[in-house]
Structures are given as C-alpha cells and as structure tokens.
Amino acid sequence: MKVATRRRNRELGLGLLALGITFGGYLLVEFAKKPNLPTDLWGVLALIIGLYVVAHIAVRNLAPNADPTLLPIAALLNGIGYVVISRLDRNLARAQAGWTAAGVGAFVLTLFLVRRIRTVERYRYTFLLAGLAALLIPLVPGIGREINGARLWVKIGPLNFQPGEIAKVLLVIFFAAYLVEKRELLASGRRHLMGLRLPQLKHLGPLLLAWAVSILIMVREKDLGSSLLFFAVFAAMLYMATERATYLLAGLGMFLAGAFASYESFGHVQERVSTWIDPFAHPQGAGYQLSQSLFAYAEGGFAGAGLGRGSPGTIPNAATDFVFSAIGEELGLLGAAAIIIAVLLFLGAGYRIAVQSTRPFSKLFAAGLTTIIGVQTFVIVGGVTRVIPLTGITMPFVSYGGSSLVANFVLLALLLRMSDDNARDAISARRRAPAGDARGVVINVGGVEP
C-alpha cells in the first residue's frame, strides 16, 4: 500500500475516533437534560460526520502525503468545544455549527488555491499591507465596534467579525519571507552596544514595527491578549531565524517596557492587572468573571462534575473567553489535561513539519503558524487560570467565534500543504539519489515513511 494511502487511512481512523468522542459527549449533555433521545440527534450526527468527510476527502485529493494527525486533532478540539457550547447555549451551538462549516469551506478552498507553499512567499508585501489593514480597521469610525471592552470588531451590514484573526496568518507570511531574506544580516550584526552585536537599524524594522503594532493594539483596541500574541510570535520567529537569544531577550524587554508604560497611562490596563492580582477584592464587580472561573475549577476537581451537570453558565462569556473553565468544571482536571495534551500533540506535529522542511521559508512559516496556536492557547488558558492577566482572545478550535474558527482552519490547511510539500520533496530526492546512497536513507527518515 502506498504511503499516501496509509496516511489518509490513518487520518480517517483517527477522525472517526474524534467524531465518536464528540457524539458521545453530545449524548451525555442531552441525557443530563432529559432521558429521551434528542430530536436533532441524527441531524447533528450527519453534520459532524459530513464536515469531517468533506475535509478528509479534500486532503486525500489535494494533499495526499500530508501529516495524518493534524486534522483529527483539530476535529477533536472543535468537537469538544461544540459539545460544551451546546451545553451552554443552543443558539450559539447552531451558530458555531455554521461557522464550522464555513471554516471547512475555507480549509478546502485554501488547499485548492495554494498548491505549492512557495507561491505564497512571492506576495509578502501584499500580505503585509493586508495584515496591517486588517489589524487597524477596527479603529475606523463607523465600522469599528467595541465589545466587552475591546475594540476588535468590524460591522459591515449584517456581518460582524474580527479581522485581526486572519491578520495573524497574513503577517506571519510576511515575517517568514522577510526573515529568510535578511536572516544573515540579522544574525551577524556589526555594531556593538553594551557587549551585544546588533545589525543596522534598518534591518530591525520588522521587529520595531511588530512592537509598535502590539502596543497600538494594547492601547487603542484595549486588547492585551492580541498584543501579547502578535509580539510573542514575531519575537519567537526572529529567534528561530537567527538562533540568537539576544533578540528574544530584547523583544521581551521591549514588550515589558511598553506594557509598563500602558499600565501607568491607561485605566483599563490597571484594572486588568489589579483583577489578576486579587480577583476576590471585587467579587461582584471587576473580579466576578475570574472569581467564577476559579470556583468552576474547584467544583470540577479531579474527574469533573460530568457533562451537563455543572454550572458553567454562571461564568460570563463562558462559551468564548472562558470555555476552558467550563471544561474544567464538567470534565475536571482529567478533561482539562486531555485538551492541553491534544494541543501539545498539534504543536508537536506542526513543529515536526517545520523541522522536516528543506526550504527556509517553509521552515519558518510552519514554525510561525504553530507558534500562533501555542501562544494563543497559553494566553487564554493562563488568563482563566490566573497565571497571567486575563485577556480576551479565543482558544483555537474550541471557543465560540466565527472569525477565529475560519482563520484557524486556514492555518491548518497551510500546515497540511507544507507537510505534503515536504513529503513530495523527500520522495523526489529519494528517487534521484543513486542506489545505496546513504543520503537517500536520511531523506527517507526525515521526510516520509518507507
């Protein structure tokens, strides 16, 4: 059996397991309400199977050599998120099902349009302009909207969305392409400052731009989470490109300096920090949301209260910002740890794609996209567990949110495209290698299965 066929069959088997867990969770939620089978049972079953089959067929035909684990993990996270959202609000669950269908559509379209990842690299400055425009458009009077204290939304007619979600993918494309072009100059700086080797200032432009944009988001859009996400991803990519810890430390220092200045200047930043330090100081006011989140974890304990048997509805915005708290209450430490493990498996697969890439752009691009998922998960989980100040971003594939879900499915498609490129390149190199050439063995081990 061909390698591609084995991989796709493995993906199908893992996907069916993820769908079974989702369907079982949905049944438990419904049985907690009443002992009868829900009237929409078969419709829900057909929907979750149908969407996964569409995505799987798209991968089987458009990226047959891609990694077989990424799509099932995304399906598992999305399925558990749907179960929790349906338990909280049936109307939101219906909307989430529609957004999942839109995300799968975007996933298929991305695989269809991007047949080779190197074609994306050519339009780096176009993606830069589009990404900056998407980040800043919520500040435009008339169409920008402030919801839950953050000005991240755009409303055009009946459409209400967060353009910053797709901006993270667009800007990572530019940053990966720029670092590939300038990495030698950035890694071998000729200027010395306090014992550190620094490149010319003009080559540090993207880092300074990322810093300025992150501070602007923090100040003008009142969103700590997106600010931290963007700058952390860009600083990590700069470190991966140059292998110089100096940039990582400098980036951390720049962000902390900007955050401190924002704390001193703006009341909403001070409120977030004071709530983080002591959420019980104002349990019925600013600290209510975080206090209820902590109570939910305590109620869940080790094994959880059971799906449909907790009270996660007492947490404001439980389906979006605090979906991990709802999981912690009803599935306990075991369920919360399972979600984190699934995310870690996704990150491992994404970084493996980066390591296996032979082209510098693909290597950095895959690492950057994977870092987005990792940092975003850390920011949201750290916020609701009081590790860091509370933020307002969503948990990838799990939280309710159409813009986030569509953007993450696009991100998933791009990772699978790079994985397929890696496998095809490895197969081509193995065929070109002379018989018995040791280099062919190395390529085989790092690229595709024998």
Among the residue ranges 62-66, 76-80, 114-118, 280-284, the one predicted with the least confidence is 280-284
Among the residue ranges 118-122, 132-136, 352-356, the one predicted with the least confidence is 132-136
| 408-442 as b/e: b if 16+ CB within 10 A | bbbbbbbbbbbbbbbbbbbbebbeebeeeeeebee
Residue range 193-246, pLDDT digits in tens? 555 556 666 666 666 776 677 667 666 666 666 777 877 888 888 888 887 777
Domain assignments of the chain as residue spans, ordered by start: 3-446
Compute the average pLDDT of residues 315-336: 91
Residue range 282-300, pLDDT digits in tens? 878 878 888 999 999 999 9
Identify the pLDDT of residue 142. Answer: 76
Q: Is the predicted pLDDT of residue 17 greater than 80, yes or no? A: yes
Q: Around Cβ 151, how many Cβ atoms within 10 Å?
A: 16
Q: Is the predicted pLDDT of residue 47 greater than 80, yes or no? A: yes
Split at pLDDT 50, 70, 90, the class of 444 is: very low
Split at pLDDT 50, 70, 90, the class of 325 is: very high
